[in-house]
Amino acid sequence: MSAVTVRWLRAAVGMVAMAGVLAAPISVVHAQDGGGEQINILRDTEIEAILHQEMDPIFAAANLDPKLVKLYIVGDDEMNAETGSGYNMIVTTGLIMQCKTPNELMGVLAHETGHMAGGHVARSGDMEHAALGPMVVAIGLGILAAIAGAPDAAAGLIYSGSYFGELNVLAYSRDQESRADEAAVTYLEKAGYSAEGLVDFFDNFRYEEVFSNAKQYPYFQDHPLSDDRIEALSTRARTQPHWGVKDTPEMIAQFEIMKAKIKAFTNRPYQTFVDFDEKDPSYPARYARAIAYYRELETDKALKAINALIAEQPDNPYLWELKGQALLETSRGVEGEPVLRHAVELKPDAPLLRILFAEDLLSEDQPAKLDEAVLNLNRSLILEPDSPLAWQYLSEAYDAKGEDGMARLAAAEQNFDLGQMKDARTFAMRARELLKRDTPEWRRATDIILTSNPSPEELRMMGQQG
């Protein structure tokens, strides 16, 4: 998976910003923080689906609409998780890898859900809210793609520059931490899960209390531990009816797949072959090796490995996605088309799959394929409206069709979602000149201009145009 100097990378292309990180079904993006450090935001349809499958009952227990909660995965070895304003939650790959069981990860994210449902971010003060706002808005702005030879890369942008630096402004008070602990136990119990994982996770890092901030994990700087806090959490959790409930074999299997994909997309291929030796016949190990072959551009070996997995799980859309990505990135888009078409048929509600399929169609450079590419890109935008990557490909598709006004409008939408207001205005002004007046598209171009800080001269030009 390769990195994009934007904010995300894609999985099938790789995991977003898991630079070279998540391959096939993952989207990754790299962002620059204030200090010039790249930040990787990972997008992977399969991993996101696994997280939501486990967390949606917890969100529902907190009276949150699971469809509104956005989980952002950051490629960072540091263990951290944060809740942004609105329904935005961020978790690092470092945290996922540190958790020993699915229940531990669910426990930590249930705690973050407690902050979200309790409105702790909104109450943390105007200064903190102002600092977090731009970053959260930018994170939600979609996926800008940069496929540079790594896995299925879709890039998304985190608009501000300091990422965790800004998030850390939201250091929660001990009172809020206690409330979030209590809420987490309540949500886990209501969802039918045990709170033992959350207790175990905190107990495993009890020693963090004695470290200075410089030596602590960022998570525990914002979420300070204490013996009293852990004991209070443990006492209440042990009284819950579901305390003895264990992770199901399916949950454990999905958890191991998620970890294997993260490793395969974030580590160098040679490390993957060390971590997942050929003697390991397990599904996660074979999956990881297939990704490593793909990233190493050993396409024939990758396809052989992927085909073997598909033979076992013919209805797994993520395997078809990985295969299609491998074909697309080695200039075999014609072969990849039926593969990615099947992936979309298996999971039609996955916007990243539709974008990848459309990308393949455009790569064939055949006029007859353009309408289908446009159709899939528009459907992806219904599912995920603020996707710079989808708008980028849509602009290319309309340009190839000779629809200049629509191409410029799509380019305006892409730049608008990326926060590049000057370029958004420029494209929207041109689109407004080319589109038929008073159509929905013409009015949308007008809206983009008016909401992107137009200059007096630009407003005069609009007035002259009507």
* pLDDT score recorded for residue 372: 98
Residues 317 and 216 in one domain: no
Residues 231 and 288 in one domain: no
Closest CA to 435 of 459, 411, 451: 411
Quick check: is 43 in a domain? yes
Q: Which residues make Cβ contacts (< 8 Å) with residue 305, sequence separation at least 6?
A: 286, 289, 290, 293
* pLDDT-derived band at 149, boundaries 50, 70, 90: very low
What's the rounded Cα separation, in Å, for the pair 163 and 111?
Answer: 21
Closest CA to 125 of 164, 176, 90, 71: 176
**Tell me, what CATH number does 125's domain have?**
3.30.2010.10
Boundary of a domain, candidates 212, 237, 262:
237
Residues 307 and 359 in one domain: yes
Quick check: is 136 in a domain? yes
Quick check: is 83 in a domain? yes
Which token pair is 88?
């935005």
**Tell me, what CATH number does 320's domain have?**
1.25.40.10
Residues 31 and 122 in one domain: yes
* 130-145: average pLDDT: 38
Predicted model pTM:
0.79
Q: What pLDDT digit, counting tens, does each position of 247-284 carry?
A: 999 999 999 999 999 999 999 999 999 999 999 999 99
Q: Reduced to 3 states, what is the DSSP secondary structure of residue 317?
A: helix
Residues 59 and 179 in one domain: yes
Residues 22 and 109 in one domain: yes
Domain of 347, in residue numbers: 279-465
* pLDDT score recorded for residue 218: 55
Distances (CA, A) of 199 to 150, 206, 221, 243, 251: 38, 10, 18, 11, 19
Q: Reduced to 3 states, what is the DSSP secondary structure of residue 374?
A: helix
**Long-range pairs of 97-102 with CB within 8 A, sequence gap ≥ 24:** 97/259, 97/262, 97/263, 99/197, 99/201, 100/200, 100/204, 101/197, 101/200, 101/247, 101/252, 101/255, 102/54, 102/197, 102/247, 102/251, 102/252, 102/254, 102/255
Residues 165 and 68 in one domain: yes
* pLDDT-derived band at 457, boundaries 50, 70, 90: confident
Quick check: is 1 in a domain? no
Residues 378 and 436 in one domain: yes
Q: How many domains does the chain have?
A: 2
Q: What pLDDT digit, counting tens, does each position of 32-55 carry?
A: 343 444 457 888 999 999 999 999
Residues 295 and 212 in one domain: no
Contact yes or no for 255/101 (Cβ under 8 A): yes
Place of tokens 């551009």: 297
Quick check: is 60 in a domain? yes
Amino acid at 345: E
What's the rounded Cα separation, in Å, for the pair 91 and 82?
Answer: 7
Tell me the DSSP string of 107-127: HHHHHHHHHHHTTTTTTS-HH
Contact yes or no for 340/311 (Cβ under 8 A): no
Boundary of a domain, candidates 211, 237, 263:
237
Residues 131 and 51 in one domain: yes
Percentage of the chain surpassing pLDDT 90?
Answer: 62
Boundary of a domain, candidates 205, 237, 269:
237
Q: What pLDDT digit, counting tens, does each position of 156-211 carry?
A: 333 333 444 444 444 456 778 888 999 999 999 999 999 999 999 988 876 544 34
Quick check: is 245 in a domain? no
Quick check: is 377 in a domain? yes
Quick check: is 302 in a domain? yes
Distances (CA, A) of 71 to 84, 87, 240, 326, 424: 10, 9, 27, 26, 27
Distances (CA, A) of 39 to 7, 161, 216: 7, 9, 20
Residues 98 and 231 in one domain: yes
Residues 301 and 420 in one domain: yes
* 440-464: average pLDDT: 86
